[in-house]
A and B are shown apart, each in its own frame.
Chain A
Amino acid sequence: MSALIEAEGVGKAFGGLQALTDCSLSVAEGSVSGLIGPNGSGKTTLFNLMTGYERASRGEIRLGGESITRATPERVFALGVGRTFQITRLFFRLTVLENMLVATQRHEGWLRSVLRVAGSAAERVRALELLEFVGLSGLAARPAGELSYGQRKLLELATLLVADPAVLLLDEPTAGVNPTLINQLTERIRELNRAGKTFLVVEHNMEFVMGLCHQVTVLHQGRTLLTGTPEQVRADPAVLDAYLGGADDDDL
């Protein structure tokens, strides 16, 4: 299996603070990969670099072999990389369905985008199918702000699927979600993965990671500590050290 999205020797400094020093990661096409590490190890920063929200100070990010190191978030998404956020981000004042329609990737001229009604019939049908898939179709007309926390996580995932991205980067998808919904989420990810989607998941829930991922990368103090199967990672003493000795400052 070839690498679909990869980071090589990536570093990032904020002012004097070195958030990432040397970080390499490779996600094979069709895999579900995990990214773990103690708080402050730079997981979210890495996500931000991979999706264009931050610019890497050094190193390179590649998607399908092409560099996307300097691409904007809009561009990264258009190339087929979708992401969710650690704290769920939705358009709270838009309805659930409208949230789905924002992501529609349609290449049309500026004038048409102004004059045409948002969401063609086909797009609406597709959006409703995806809402069905995550179990939210009954709430389509509700403002997204009225959803429960777990429902928001599901909606956030569903909005990405509208544009049919090849890779999905999920930042702590289970945080604050009740066990029933976690199971539902796991199922959906497996299903999508079978359909050919590649995943990279940041997670603290070890059970979830170990159960789901084919391969896990451990970040520690801005460096990749190791990459391996869940079993290898579990067995590595360095990982345990990293977690035990991990600082409890805020996640960057």
Chain B
Amino acid sequence: MRRGTWMVAAGVLAAALLVGCGSSSSSSSSGGGSASNASSNKSPVVIGTSLSLSGDFSADGQAFQKGYQLWASDVNKAGGLLGHPVKLDVVSDASSPAQVVTNYQKLISSDHAKLVFGPFSTLLTVPASKVVNRYGYAFVEGAGGAPAAFGNGLHNIFDVSLPVIDNLVPFAKWVASLPASERPKTAAYATSDDPFTQPQIPLAQNIMSAAGIKTVYSKVFPAEVTDYAPIATAVASSKADAVVLGSVDVPTVSAFVHAFIQQHYSPKVFIATAGPDQGAAFLKAAGGAKNAEGIMYPNGWYPGYANAQSQKLVSEYVAKYGGTPADVNADVAEAYSVGQAIAQAVAATHSLDNPKIISYLHSGVTLNSVQGPVKFNAQGENGQAAAFVFQWQKGNQVQVLPVGASGSKPPLIPKPNWGS
């Protein structure tokens, strides 16, 4: 018995170490793989970030890591920051706020990161921003756009992405402006109880109600639901013409899609705040392009975005990680934009000095990013962020709103029936 225990224990340990050796070599915490391309022989500049590589936010966390790495390798190819090659220092926070607090202190004080990038999700961004603020570092992030992250009196936080609260505004205005024959008469609103989605829905609902679109269902559901069927069925039985879904991830949207299909309910307009932006991952869960057809989502970016830098990012992504352009999700671009904003600030100030970078970012300059122009307001939100609405059309993400904007194609309305 005792010997058995030792044997099992030893076996477990040996197996774990084997696996560990096998795959830790493939894991990389430095994105500066092509640092040698940089002509410079200056000391590398360490940029630290904490990402959720495991746990609840792991899907987005890992996409963010790719975005940061692509940026790092691009910037190194271009000679680095002020001639210093960039060395990314990625640590994992396992989706835990306590860990994220420790991680940024470690990145700055022990790893001597000169600059830091934000983590994934508002839930982790807020505690992280306070730590980083203590060090006087600029905290540029791409995925902490909920109102909770701003207005805390912090001067150092900058979100390169679209402020979450305005996400649905172009959509709501467009719906309101449709000719009466096409305009939905009724709308259903269902949203996850989450700081990311919650603020967006009422704003959209106000605009649409003002245009005479009757609200036939409006409910909040818990962030962690194990059975979406009754909620989705209730939405379906409301027979609303338009569905506005406040979702944070793929499983939520996919659950609604499947339930709607099962209920033979196909709204004329269907928009979900997050999930459909996840490219191929969304298609996999939703059950293919036919089911995705016509689904809309608001975002600042999509793989087909008509922007030279963005196109380059997509092709680099495909070259490095394989797949098709549709596999590139918006997290990658959000992360990449963070790097771009920092790089421009460094170039403009000719320094890696955080206070200078902060005041530069607050100076009202307009920066370029793969997501379009970036201009920070007093709170650090990107007031210039392009607010787009995209739609899945024939397996591709297509920019449809704002109507008439460069790159916009006509939206598919009404959304075709499932699978047709």
Q: Direct contact between A and B in the complex (CB less than 8 angstroms)? A: no
Q: Footprint of B on A, CB under 8 Å?
A: none
